[in-house]
Structure 1
Amino acid sequence: MARFDSSTKFNSRTGVRIVVAGDRGTGKSSLIITAATESFPTNAPSLLPSTRLPEVMFLDRVPVTLIDTCLENRGKLDDELKRADAVVLTYACDQTSTFDRLSTFWLPELRRLEVKVPVIVAGCKVDLRDEQQAVSLKPVMKQFREIETCIECSAYRHIQIAEVFYDAQKAVLYPTAPLFDQEAQTLKLRCVRALKRIFILCDHDRDGALSDAELNDFQIKCFNASLQPSEIVGIKSIVHEIYPKGLNENGLTLTGFLILHEISIEKGRLETWTVLRKFGYNNDIRLRDDQLLPPIKRTADQSVELTSEAVEFLRKVFTLFDCDGDGALNALELNDLFSTAPESPWSEAPYANAVEKNALGGLSLNGFLSEWALMSVLDPVITVENLIYIGYAGDPSSAVRVTRKRRVDRKKQNSDRNVFQGFVFGPKEAGKSSILHSFVGRSFSEVYMPTNEEQYTVNIVSQPDGTEKTLILREIPEDSVEKLLSHQDALAACDVAVFVHDSSNESSWIRATELLVQVASHGESTGYEVPCIIVAAKDDLEPNPTTIQDSTRVSQDMGIEAPIPISAKLGDFNNVFRRIVRAAEHPHLSIPETEAGKSRKQHRKLLKRSLMVASVGAAVVVFGLAAYRVYAARTSS
């Protein structure tokens, strides 16, 4: 399909370390010396020092260092194998017993040492092989998939010596394993996804095929050379012979494009890696760091949000992939949307069950935008990476913005944020999870399921003034509170803390109070004070009078809003989610004061007053002294 341009450098590696191992007498040292000097040694030493081969011999001018080994020094051998970028295992073509040792000792030994690098099997002394000593390589390669290739050579006859190390270096710089499944004989899924994205980027007219002109543009971009008309005809002929549907009236389809890469990889050529790297991919088939968002400078109490530009892009993407027009993305539509990313970013916690879905499991627009908002808060770099995968063409830094510091928000008595994060605290069986589930429209369940790990839900909350804010609720299991608060900046990411208790259970309230004091004290001591809200859950049960009286008194004493009664079972939430957002929007209000905090504040006031009195007294003394000097000067004259 294309010609490899060896003058284009795609690797940031400064060198490749190849370890040569095998039984004594298989020709390891002769192989290395002949590669380095282009002459066969008449008397090769038993062990060579490390040998560097000229970089001009190799791809991308990345130099190769060869490490000789001997089996007698097992400690040194194991250490070298663990440090290898690639391993060349040698056997002697005139000694079949050394070939058998590959599968009975050397390859199992590499697995035991967990050496997960490409392996090249080199059959040395091929000039001495008797035809009756021929061995079958296929069973060994099938059993040990880590073998990249097998090659026969002769140092004495100078047969395929450079090729051994060329193949080893190529296996490091252009590995087959991430691209191709040798067992299934197909491209790996991540490779297919990357090539699909590249195909879409090159399909400028969006007709689902690469025309001759688009195919030529692709060739020039990747290989710095044009395709001749005869070459284009040849490419199409190859595809048509293998799979006629790889072509249509408009040109080369995605399937045809993938077939060409499959052929290239099967033949051991480098074109696919050249293409991937030209479009910014690394060896893991993810976009390189230089293609993504640079590191974000922010303090602990600043968060990251999507910009209006990115949100508008996502709205258009949602509409584009909502093929049935039902206002939701089903599983197939969502998979299609992320089919150009390495994988779906929302398949696992904390995203898998964090958002609103319809009765059929479809993701609503609110749920779609909420999922992106959650990802932006938790991992903005991954967020921008996935935006690029699905087609965001703007500057990566234009997709997100860093919010103001929370301390500044408190001083200004308002927040400039569109996304707020609420930490939900409370004892076991208080109803925390029910609140999170209800927030995204899940039905109430009587069955108690303890929460052992933090979980998130996120949704858009409409405000009375018509604006919309995104609220993230993060449930903190009771057993995790101590660990959370062991960090100095534990509350830096928290816009509002919600304390839930079972209003029918006095012990539940007592424990919730302890957690409230604990969190408030941590905020006072670290400077990360947060607004706090008390939620009296299970309002459908018989209320505990002592709990009602005590919770009202505590909220008054601490200077926060009275407890909000709710019932998840009855679906009566008393506008609790709006009230949580309102508390976050006005971060100077609803900040609780503990007794210790009040004492510290009183102490600071007394100290300030004493300093003021002292300064006034000092000013009076200074003024009096100055007046006396003036008076004395007048009387003396």
Structure 2
Amino acid sequence: MAGGSGSSARTGVRVVVVGDKGTGKSSLIAAAAAESVPEKVPPVHPPTRLPSDFYPDRVPVTIIDTSSSLESRGKLNEELKRADAVVLTYACNQPMTLSRLSSYWLPEFRRLEVKVPIIVAGCKLDLRGEHHTTSLEEIMGPIMQQFREIETCVECSASTMIQVPDVFYYAQKAVLHPTTPLFDHDEQTLKPRCVRALKRIFTLCDHDMDGALSDAELNEFQVKCFNAPLQPAEIVGVQRVVQEKQPDGVSDLGLTLSGFLFLHALFIEKGRLETTWAVLRKFGYGDDLELKDDFLPVPTKHAPDQKRYLLLDAISQSVELTSEAVEFLRGVFGLYDIDNDGAVRPAELEDLFLTAPESPWREAPYKDSAETTAMGNLTLNGFLSEWALMTLVDPRRSLANLIYIGYGGDPASTLHVTRRRLTDRKKQRTERNVFRCFVFGPKKAGKSALLNSFLGRPFSENYTPTTRERYATNVVDQLGGTKKTLILQEIPEEGVQKLLSNKESLAACDVAVFVYDSSDDYSWKKTKELLIGFARLEEDSGYGVPCLLIAAKDDLDSKSLTVQDAARVTLELGIEAAIPISMKIRDPTDIFGRIVRAAEQPHLFIPETETGRNRKHYRHLVNSSLMFVSVGAAVTIVGLAAYRAYAARKNT
């Protein structure tokens, strides 16, 4: 396997040169720019640009000189923030400048949170005494162990032009072909994300899926990545190298995954990172070892009938998986449901995402948000619901993971942008298959119990406060055999104000549910405040969010005054009466089906305050008046025209 440059899509690399006074910074830059020994060097060299053809990657390098004086410290810090790489200099004939690297400069970079590769350059090599016998590795080894951000070290001389171009070549290379994402120097192994990316690439190139790259497949891979075929003797040579160090790296069928990974670790160990990066970038990976945006055609959220669109329209739409993507996922689930019991184990789920940067559902909001069996295995409904949730909250990540796990069709055919919610309200129906429901309520109202019941989990008497937004997603069977995915988003009491302070947050909501403890007057009081406040806000925003009121803990004694007040409030707001439920005794109320129906028929469940009704009545009067004026004006114009026609006939 031969390697090319594989440079990233960068248009330039900015290198900042830093170091103690008198270590040769300006002379180093002048020598690199002129490609000759400099005659006269300014105290601080002006910004210098090495042309794109200076190095093989054909990416221009801009070099910034700095002053180490106290007065220039602010400017130095600003330059460090803009740097793609740093060249840190010391003078080979001044040991004190070497010790200053670890006593001052490198700790200072950490304090300033400089997160770019550092190249250490020992300047004035020609002035070091002949008696010096310590090797560069002995000098820099301990420092590099302590400061892993050092990419490499090189000694040079501007006076004799020894290794001057190499300094900035290594700086450019460290930016274009970084080591950190690929290799763990402590463990001397490829990093997990790198392994996962290479596994995906291997799988894509193993067309016959026999677990090995045949000579033909290896040659096709070589042409794709480097535009040059491998000769038969070269293939034999590659396999021999692998077999000597990694016996299981080659089988009778060809190069195995083990051998493929070994080769890339070998390239990196030998400093040929550009080879591995060429492969990764050819298959769409960026420096973070995730697929770049160019490979992820996430649809724009705007109505197809609008050439220009407002932010409001974009927010009031959502993204769903297409039927084609859902069928692909059903097939994937079947492959991993080995015992055909309708569920996949956590270990099998991890295996599914072995070709993704990481398993996407380990953390919030996906962790514990879907239906599982009593053994903790993810059901098919749970699996598809997790994908629906990821597509709703992060379409780009959902599309990327579809590709990571092997979707080979047109990526643009996997996601669908829904119609605007405002259009749904006007048409009094929706075409959506996934609904997002905000769940509001005070502490101990029963919000978490509602979410747990939705996921089929047993009721628990233990109270655990919800401190952050939590999701529960599942499939809801509707009359007529249709299925909709419902996503419940529990809003902690402390988070309500923040959420509702931004009116646009309502645009993402298909239906809002307000839960209160029917046995607690205070719980109802807080919920009533929330419901009325929400109704006023949604009237101001114009989004028209349907609302349902849930009287939880119906197994306890309900307060009669609370029941009466709740009936009065729902009547005044024009929404359905409070729905009594008990998660403890699991009453047969089809609460989740009712939530979906409210989302499907939003016009029947939108609350309206007295102020809102008065405002609507006023608008109706104004519109009627305008209509009357318009009709009157039209009659006047028609009459005037008729009179003029009569007068004209009379005159003739």
Question: Please, what TM-score do these two structures have when normalized by structure 1?
Answer: 0.94
Checking the alignment, whether the CA contact within 8 Å between 1:323 and 1:333 is kept in structure 2 is no
Q: 1:166 to 1:504 in 2, by over 3 A?
A: same
Identity of aligned residues (%): 63
Q: 1:542 to 1:629 in 2, by over 3 A?
A: same
Range with bigger deviation, 37-46 or 329-338: 37-46
Q: CA deviation at 1:611?
A: 5.0
Q: 1:579 to 1:46 in 2, by over 3 A?
A: same
| Structure 1 Cα separation of the partners of residues 83 and 628 of structure 2 | 74
Q: 1:516 to 1:34 in 2, by over 3 A?
A: same
Q: CA deviation at 1:83?
A: 2.5
| Structure 2 Cα separation of the partners of residues 444 and 473 of structure 1 | 17
Equivalence for 2:295: 291
Stretches of structure 2 lacking an aligned partner (at least 5 in a row): 303-312
The DSSP-based 3-state class of the residue aligned with 1:569 is coil
The DSSP-based 3-state class of the residue aligned with 1:220 is helix
Equivalence for 1:316: 331
Equivalence for 1:132: 132
| Structure 2 residue 544 is matched with structure 1 residue 547 | no
Quick one: which of 155, 159, 167 aligns to 1:156?
159
| Structure 1 Cα separation of the partners of residues 626 and 504 of structure 2 | 32
| Structure 1 Cα separation of the partners of residues 640 and 230 of structure 2 | 97
| Structure 2 Cα separation of the partners of residues 605 and 74 of structure 1 | 67
| Structure 2 residue 225 is matched with structure 1 residue 225 | no
Range with bigger deviation, 14-23 or 378-387: 14-23
| Structure 2 Cα separation of the partners of residues 331 and 618 of structure 1 | 73
Checking the alignment, whether the CA contact within 8 Å between 1:16 and 1:63 is kept in structure 2 is yes
Q: Give CA deviations for 1:580-625 in whole Å, capped at 9, x if unaligned.
A: 1111111221222211122223333444455566667777888999
| Structure 2 residue 49 is matched with structure 1 residue 46 | no
Range with bigger deviation, 55-64 or 304-313: 55-64
Stretches of structure 1 lacking an aligned partner (at least 5 in a row): none
Q: 1:461 to 1:621 in 2, by over 3 A?
A: same
Quick one: which of 197, 205, 216 aligns to 2:208?
205
The DSSP-based 3-state class of the residue aligned with 2:474 is strand
Q: Give CA deviations for 1:539-581 in whole Å, capped at 9, x if unaligned.
A: 1001211222222233233322222111011112500001111
Q: 1:632 to 1:37 in 2, by over 3 A?
A: closer
| Structure 2 Cα separation of the partners of residues 232 and 605 of structure 1 | 81
Kindly report which structure 2 residues correspond to 1:402-551, keeping only aligned pairs within 5 A, or say none.
Answer: 402-551=417-566
Checking the alignment, whether the CA contact within 8 Å between 1:10 and 1:278 is kept in structure 2 is no
| Structure 2 residue 253 is matched with structure 1 residue 250 | yes
| Structure 1 Cα separation of the partners of residues 282 and 166 of structure 2 | 26
The DSSP-based 3-state class of the residue aligned with 1:401 is strand
| Structure 2 residue 338 is matched with structure 1 residue 341 | no
Equivalence for 2:307: none
Q: 1:610 to 1:207 in 2, by over 3 A?
A: same
The DSSP-based 3-state class of the residue aligned with 1:414 is coil
| Structure 1 Cα separation of the partners of residues 212 and 598 of structure 2 | 53
The DSSP-based 3-state class of the residue aligned with 2:504 is coil
The DSSP-based 3-state class of the residue aligned with 2:381 is helix
- Residue 569 of structure 1 aligns with an amino acid whose one-letter code is K
Checking the alignment, whether the CA contact within 8 Å between 1:211 and 1:250 is kept in structure 2 is yes
Checking the alignment, whether the CA contact within 8 Å between 1:59 and 1:170 is kept in structure 2 is no
Checking the alignment, whether the CA contact within 8 Å between 2:18 and 2:25 is kept in structure 1 is yes
Checking the alignment, whether the CA contact within 8 Å between 2:301 and 2:317 is kept in structure 1 is no
| Structure 2 Cα separation of the partners of residues 343 and 597 of structure 1 | 49
| Structure 2 residue 109 is matched with structure 1 residue 94 | no
- Residue 32 of structure 1 aligns with an amino acid whose one-letter code is I
Matched pairs, number:
634
Q: Give CA deviations for 1:131-157 in whole Å, capped at 9, x if unaligned.
A: 435252211111111111112223333
The DSSP-based 3-state class of the residue aligned with 1:492 is helix
Checking the alignment, whether the CA contact within 8 Å between 2:515 and 2:552 is kept in structure 1 is yes
The DSSP-based 3-state class of the residue aligned with 1:489 is helix
Checking the alignment, whether the CA contact within 8 Å between 2:48 and 2:62 is kept in structure 1 is yes
Q: CA deviation at 1:626?
A: 9.2
Range with bigger deviation, 355-364 or 510-519: 510-519
Q: CA deviation at 1:42?
A: 4.4
Q: CA deviation at 1:163?
A: 1.4
| Structure 2 Cα separation of the partners of residues 636 and 92 of structure 1 | 109
The DSSP-based 3-state class of the residue aligned with 1:132 is coil
| Structure 2 Cα separation of the partners of residues 622 and 78 of structure 1 | 74
| Structure 2 Cα separation of the partners of residues 29 and 45 of structure 1 | 7
- Residue 15 of structure 1 aligns with an amino acid whose one-letter code is G
| Structure 2 residue 16 is matched with structure 1 residue 19 | yes
Q: CA deviation at 1:76?
A: 3.2
The DSSP-based 3-state class of the residue aligned with 2:14 is strand
Q: 1:327 to 1:23 in 2, by over 3 A?
A: same
Equivalence for 1:177: 180
Q: CA deviation at 1:207?
A: 0.7
| Structure 2 Cα separation of the partners of residues 468 and 211 of structure 1 | 45
Equivalence for 1:301: 316
Checking the alignment, whether the CA contact within 8 Å between 1:93 and 1:133 is kept in structure 2 is no
Checking the alignment, whether the CA contact within 8 Å between 1:236 and 1:252 is kept in structure 2 is yes
| Structure 2 Cα separation of the partners of residues 547 and 536 of structure 1 | 10
| Structure 1 Cα separation of the partners of residues 201 and 644 of structure 2 | 89
- Residue 608 of structure 2 aligns with an amino acid whose one-letter code is E
Q: CA deviation at 1:2?
A: 1.1
Checking the alignment, whether the CA contact within 8 Å between 2:469 and 2:489 is kept in structure 1 is yes
Checking the alignment, whether the CA contact within 8 Å between 2:239 and 2:255 is kept in structure 1 is yes
Q: 1:630 to 1:476 in 2, by over 3 A?
A: same
| Structure 1 Cα separation of the partners of residues 74 and 616 of structure 2 | 65
Q: Note the aligned Cα RMSD (angstroms).
A: 2.5
| Structure 1 Cα separation of the partners of residues 397 and 363 of structure 2 | 14
- Residue 111 of structure 1 aligns with an amino acid whose one-letter code is R
Q: CA deviation at 1:378?
A: 0.9
| Structure 2 residue 118 is matched with structure 1 residue 119 | yes
| Structure 2 Cα separation of the partners of residues 86 and 505 of structure 1 | 62
| Structure 2 Cα separation of the partners of residues 428 and 146 of structure 1 | 47
Q: 1:602 to 1:39 in 2, by over 3 A?
A: closer
Question: Please, what TM-score do these two structures have when normalized by structure 2?
Answer: 0.92
